[in-house]
Structure 1
């Protein structure tokens, strides 16, 4: 090997960029991100999932079932829309009040538990206890927020069948459009809940869809039966 070749090889080795260290850092960062995602506790999302996705699903199914029940004996569009609107308002108020009472009870229990732990004492410093108490207060449930979220979610779900039936005069077409719109919304809500909670998507969507269909079919059938009997 000539002296020039030896000098060129030496210079390349001397000024070569540290690719190995950079690649190792990138691999470590990617591995850490994957581990963080895998270790995420998706059960922490259960509270707001219940208040949002499930609340919207309740509004969708209950309002659609009520409208289908009225539609079984009344072909007038006004009666169907009014029944759906009444179901929206009543359901949203019921969800808000129920969620407020439930979360407030949970809040009382957690505050009582915090007081018992404070009375016991565990030898920690005053500053440490104050910091811990501040963190615990931030994680306490908020009854007003829960009530508002439940009422809003219920209203969003209930608006689907109402909007679907509002502009269709023909009775049979109106019923078909309501069923189609509710079916689509049920699949979306089931899929959304499964994705956010990292649950099986197909199974969740089918469970929500079949449950909604059953609720509408039972309400329609029983109302039709009672209405045709002349009671």
Structure 2
């Protein structure tokens, strides 16, 4: 009787485990894409709002946003490259230790190949992060590019940033199978706080006589 139960259990579909495994496999890409897009949107929007708090010139806002876009994309790419490479080195060392204990004298090449299967390529992760950051950062730049009136331009940047943050939060929650309302709310509130703090502090410094 017990043998029959064990056999039937072994033949049962492994869908819950397989599903969990699939999500863990794409967790790094999901993290890089969602965080990159959110960072790009919040960073560029905050820079533009900060400059816009003390300067009416549209060129100053756009230049600040563009510089932030380039700098942020490069920073994300380098950071992701270093992070994935470091994680791969740790995984390689761990696998090597385990194989040395179980089967002394194993080939190092086999160890490296096993570690590379578990982790994405550092180069691919860097490119993905840079592209994700750029996608988020382009949103406020495009929104502000064709609005000449200063106050309307600021309002449009805030509204567009809030809507984009909501979209990114929902997409991240759906792909990661997490609660949509909680995830998107955290993203929107956190992003709006960053934009508001940057705007307020920059305006405060500018109002105290700092010439920009």
Query: Residue 134 of structure 1: CA displacement?
Result: 5.0
Q: Are 2:78 and 2:126, in contact at CA under 8 Å, matched by a contact in 1?
A: yes
- Preserved contact between residue 169 and residue 188 of structure 2 (Cα < 8 Å): yes
Aligned to 1:212: 191
What TM-score comes out, normalization by structure 2 length?
0.84
Gaps of 5+ in 1: 1-30
Q: Which moved more, 1:107-116 or 1:154-163?
A: 107-116
CA RMSD of aligned residues (A): 2.3
In 1, the alpha carbon distance for the partners of 2:152 and 2:116 equals: 53
Structure 2: distance between partners of 1:184 and 1:173? 16
Q: Bigger radius of gyration, 1 or 2?
A: 1
Quote the Cα distance in structure 1 between the aligned partners of 2:19 and 2:43.
34
Say whether the 8 Å CA contact 1:43–1:197 is kept in structure 2.
Answer: no
2:200 maps to which residue? 221
Q: Tell me, yes or no, if the aligned pair for 2:33 and 2:128 is still in contact at 8 Å.
A: yes
Residue 184 of structure 1: CA displacement? 0.9
Q: CA deviation at 1:137?
A: 3.4
- Kindly indicate whether residue 44 of structure 2 is the aligned counterpart of residue 58 of structure 1: no
SS in 2 for 1:40: helix
Show CA shifts across 1:130-189 (max 9, x none): 989755532233111111111110000000000000111111111111111111100000
Q: Which residue of 2 aligns with 1:44?
A: 25
Aligned residues: 195
The answer for the alignment partner of 2:141 in structure 1 is 162
State yes or no: 1:105 paired with 2:96: no
Q: Residues 45 and 197 of structure 1 are in contact (CA less than 8 Å); yes or no, is this contact kept in structure 2?
A: no
